[in-house]
Amino acid sequence: MSESDVLSGTRQASVERNTKETQVAISIDLDGSGQLEVDTGLPFLDHMLDQIARHGLMNLSIKAKGDLEIDAHHTVEDIGITLGQAFAKALDKTGIRRYGHAYVPLDEALSRVVIDFSGRPGLFYQVQFAKGTVGSFDVDLFHEFFQGFVNHALVTLHIDNIRGKNAHHQIETIFKAFGRAVRMAVEVDSRASSVIPVSYTHLRAHETLRYLVCRVLL
């Protein structure tokens, strides 16, 4: 895959997920311009998803219908799952930087997000919200969103809210930082356009680091 392939818009995918509780449809273009078309029935979540699109410079279409008459848990989690599936389908890891990170402030709040498209799902989420809701939205559900994403995008994701006294500011800095970290990680490095990033933790018992480097170069 070359940079011209990426810029021509080949990194796109559409995924639908239908369960007893929810119906979710997501389309993604990783090389977009930050456009979002969204309707989840959860305005505050829509606002956060807009941060991913704008700061990640990706185009997203997200439509969801869920059992909101019960609560938002299934809808939020299933959107995270479906977004992760869309990433996994759209992303050719050949030549990408693989790692991304971002610090984002908003007034008193500061958050850091680090992501590794490692193929190994893991969420490390250190967030203590100033309060439990923003409007009527339960902020604990954001953990479920990111857990669903991680499990299906197969990424290692570290999210740390370093400080913050306003729950809205805290979560907004997290989503902005997430978008920027993803943008960095999926960017194609022209100096390694034919290389698939390899994790050293995947060395077999008989392999050494020198063996791995030789195998990659070959």
Rounded to 5 degrees, φ, ψ at 84 are -60, -40
pLDDT tens across the length of the chain (218 residues):
333 333 345 899 999 999 999 999 999 999 999 999 999 999 999 999 999 999 999 999 999 999 999 999 999 999 999 999 999 999 999 899 999 999 999 999 999 999 999 999 999 999 999 999 999 999 999 999 999 999 999 999 999 999 999 999 999 999 999 999 999 999 998 887 666 775 544 544 444 545 444 444 44
Residue 47 identity (one-letter amino acid): H
CA distances from 123 to 115, 153, 191, 195 (A): 10, 11, 30, 26
Dihedral of alpha carbons 112, 117, 118, 122, sign: positive
Cβ atoms of 148 and 84 within 8 Å: the answer is yes
Q: What's the per-residue H, E or C state across the chain?
A: CCHHHHHCCCCEEEEEEECCCEEEEEEEECCCCCCEEEECCCHHHHHHHHHHHHHHCCEEEEEEEECCCCCCHHHHHHHHHHHHHHHHHHCCCCCECCEEEEEEEECCEEEEEEEECCCCCEEEEECCCCCCEECCEECCHHHHHHHHHHHHHCCEEEEEEEECCCHHHHHHHHHHHHHHHHHHHHCECHHHCCCCCCCHHHCCCCCCHHHHHHHHHC
Instruction: Return the pLDDT at 205.
Output: 46
Q: How many domains does the chain have?
A: 1
**pLDDT attached to residue 185:** 97
Contacts of 8 (CB under 8 A, 6+ apart): none
Domain of 8 in residue numbering reads as 3-217
Output the pLDDT for position 10: 86
Query: What is residue 187's predicted lDDT score, i.e. its pLDDT?
Result: 95
Give the CATH number of the domain where residue 134 resides. Answer: 3.30.230.40
The amino acid sitting at 208 is T
